[in-house]
Amino acid sequence: MNGPRDKRTARLIRVDGSGNGDFKKIQQAIDSVPSQNNELVFIWVKPGTYREKIVVPEDKPYITISGSKASDTIITWNQGRDLLQSPVVSIFASDFVGRFLTIKNTFGTSGIAVALRVSADRAAFYGCRIISFQDTLLDDSGRHYFNNCYIEGATDFICGNAASLYERCHLHSTSDRGGAMTAQHRNTAEENTGFVFLGGKITGSGSMFLGRPWGDFSKVVFGYTYMSNVVEPEGWNDWGDPTKQRTVSYGEYKCYGPGANRAKRVVWSRSLSTDEATKLFTKDIIGGRAWLRPAPSHFKTH
């Protein structure tokens, strides 16, 4: 599949819960896109709260789902306990874009409850709010870009084995004590995956760790990030398995704020060199120049 020839023009589908659009439900709009879709599709969601589980299937690439602002365009569901069954929104199609949406799992504090699962290559999210308690964002597989997003949770709330760049994102911990913000799942040194956080800020209540290793070769780095005093002085946790200390890649570069002091950091985390930072803190790590695309400038309704 070579993709759309015209990358500026999208087919417009309007979703309005009050009935003034093409569909009342977001899933109905997705279902209307033909299998093996090969044109840009822009699903414009009018303000409202949409209580539905959403799946973008693998055979429907090039879809954008966009609100006007995240605070008034809310997709919500209440399901937990199962990592793969609980997500409010699941993305399986490549070349997906989410814009200005709140995606919220209201299951609460009694276990796994995923808000967003991204299991596809080349997915980008702009100005979204992604909210739950445990495993909020299953950043599962593929190359992904998150820009100016708000992500909230208490335990392993960004987890998975994608290769992702988080630029200017706000991470907010609701952990009382010792929760981990990230649980990256890289299993071998050969895998080109990991979470890179560039700019942005970390806030919260209680205390939390920057990450712990779901996979033996877990890889997470923070650069130029504001860290409030919610970050534990040790910074990182080995999930009760000291053998992983030898294989994880946890690094920080020119972070600031009361939680960024590395004086008491675990010795198996690192301050990145300028050379390392120059290579990591760029869209090149996700091949972004080849697939990140601007919002369409022209629309057609048929």
* Contact (CB, 8 A) for 225 and 202: yes
Catalytic residue among 95, 121, 135, 238: 135
Q: Is 135 a known active-site residue?
A: yes
Whole-angstrom CA distances from 26 to 17, 29, 55 are 9, 5, 10
Q: Is 156 a known active-site residue?
A: yes
Nearest to 170, CA basis, from 142, 128, 211, 135 = 128
Catalytic residue among 95, 121, 140, 156: 156
* Contact (CB, 8 A) for 56 and 91: yes
Contacts of 209 (CB under 8 A, 6+ apart): 178, 179, 180, 181, 231, 232, 234, 235, 236, 237
What contacts 24+ positions apart, CB below 8 Å, involve 237-240?
A: 237/178, 237/180, 237/209, 237/211, 237/212, 238/212, 238/213, 238/266, 238/268, 239/180, 239/212, 239/213, 239/214
Place of tokens 């409202």: 48
List, by residue number, the catalytic residues: 135, 156
